[in-house]
Amino acid sequence: MSLRTALFAASALALVSTAAHAETITIATVNNGDMIRMQGLTDDFTEKTGHTVEWVTLEENVLRQRVTTDITTKGGQFDILTIGMYETPIWGANGWLVPLDDLSDDYDAEDILPAMAGGLSHDGTLYAAPFYGESSMIMYRTDLMEKAGLEMPEAPTWEFVRKAAAAMTDRENDINGICLRGKAGWGEGGAFITAMSNSFGARWFDMDWNAQFDTQPWADTLNFFVGMMNESGPAGYATNGFNENLSLFQQGKCGMWIDATVAASFVTNPEDSTVADSVGFALAPDNGLGKRSNWLWAWALAIPAGTQKEEAAKEFIEWATSKDYIELVAEKEGWANVPPGARTSLYENPNYQSVPFAQMTLDSILSADPNNSTVEPSPYVGVQFAAIPEFAGIATEVSQEFSAVYAGQQTVEEALEKAQAITNDAMEAAGYR
Q: How far apart are CA 422 and CA 43, in angstroms?
A: 47
β pairing state of 129-134 and 297-302? antiparallel
Check residue 224 and give its pLDDT.
98
Of residues 30 and 21, the one with the higher pLDDT is 30
pLDDT digits (tens, 9 = 90+) for 287-305: 999 999 999 999 999 999 9
For residue 169, pLDDT over 70 is answered with yes
Mean pLDDT of 197-222: 98
Instruction: State the pLDDT at residue 4.
Output: 46
pLDDT above 50 (res 5) = no
- Check if the beta carbon of residue 340 is closer than 8 Å to that of residue 346: yes
Residue 20 has pLDDT above 80, yes or no: no
pLDDT at residue 17 tops 60 = no
Rounded Cα distance, 53 and 221, in Å:
44
Average pLDDT value over all residues in the chain? 94
pLDDT higher at 32 or 58: 58
| DSSP states along 287-325 | -SSS-BS---EEEEEE-BTT-S-HHHHHHHHHHHTSHHH
pLDDT over 90 (residue 32): no
| Secondary structure (H, E, C), 366-419 | HHCCCCCCCCCCCCCCCCCCCCCCCHHHHHHHHHHHHHHHHCCCCCHHHHHHHH
Task: Check if the beta carbon of residue 179 is closer than 8 Å to that of residue 169.
Answer: no
The predicted pLDDT at position 61 comes to 86
What pLDDT does 21 receive?
A: 78
pTM of the model: 0.86
What sign for the dihedral angle of Cα 36, 41, 43, 49? Answer: negative
Quick: pLDDT tens for 387-420. 999 999 999 999 999 999 999 999 999 999 999 9
H-helix or E-strand spanning residue 87: helix 87-93
